[in-house]
């Protein structure tokens, strides 16, 4: 199963991000959406799990959860916007993957049997950081992650 990861769109859903996410069986948005208009095009691609980021304010964002837990193909995943707000031990909770955003810095690191993945920011460029999305590949209980830097032409 291919799971598309996106975060920190900040009101900008680039066509390159949509193209990179196309073909995913599920999508995860790790917050800082900043507007409901971002969600419909993502939902049109695949089922979507989304969490609220620190910049997601207003009536449209009130029902977005701060965290989400889901299981895809037998792999337990936690989604949170800011990793500093993680208040549990993911391994002790049986989680295999934590997807997060906030820093705009793409990262894939395994610690204590848990894969921590930040797809980076797919929205406006920040400093010299790349504009990126990510993906998880789940096969027979195994998970691999990768970052996809978007070609902005």
Q: Which domains does the chain have, with CATH numbers?
A: 2-149 (3.60.21.10)
Q: What local confidence, expressed as pLDDT, does residue 126 receive?
A: 87
Task: Locate the DSSP E strands across the chain.
Answer: 2-6, 26-29, 48-50, 67-72, 75-80, 97-99, 107-111, 114-118, 132-139, 142-149
Instruction: Assess whether pLDDT exceeds 80 at residue 123.
Output: yes
Spatial distance between the Cα atoms of 95 and 97, rounded to a whole number of angstroms: 6
Is the pLDDT at 28 greater than 90? The verdict is yes
What pLDDT shows up at residue 139? 95
The model's pTM: 0.97
Using pLDDT thresholds of 50, 70 and 90, give the confidence band for residue 141: confident
pLDDT at 127 (0 to 100): 86
């Amino acid at each position: 199963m291919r799971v598309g990861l996106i975060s920190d769109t900040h009101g900008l859903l680039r066509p390159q991000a949509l193209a990179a996410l196309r073909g995913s069986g599920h999508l995860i948005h790790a917050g800082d959406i900043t507007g409901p208009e971002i969600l419909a095009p993502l939902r049109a691609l695949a089922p979507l799990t989304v969490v609220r980021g620190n910049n997601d304010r207003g009536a449209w964002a009130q029902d977005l959860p701060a965290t989400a837990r889901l299981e895809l193909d037998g792999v337990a995943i936690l989604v949170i916007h800011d990793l500093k707000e993680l208040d549990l031990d993911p391994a002790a909770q049986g989680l295999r993957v934590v997807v997060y955003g906030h820093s705009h810095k793409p990262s894939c690191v395994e610690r204590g049997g848990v894969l921590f993945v930040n797809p980076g920011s797919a929205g406006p460029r920040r400093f010299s950081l790349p504009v990126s999305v990510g993906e998880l590949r789940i096969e027979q209980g195994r998970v691999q992650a990768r970052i996809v830097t978007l070609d902005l032409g």
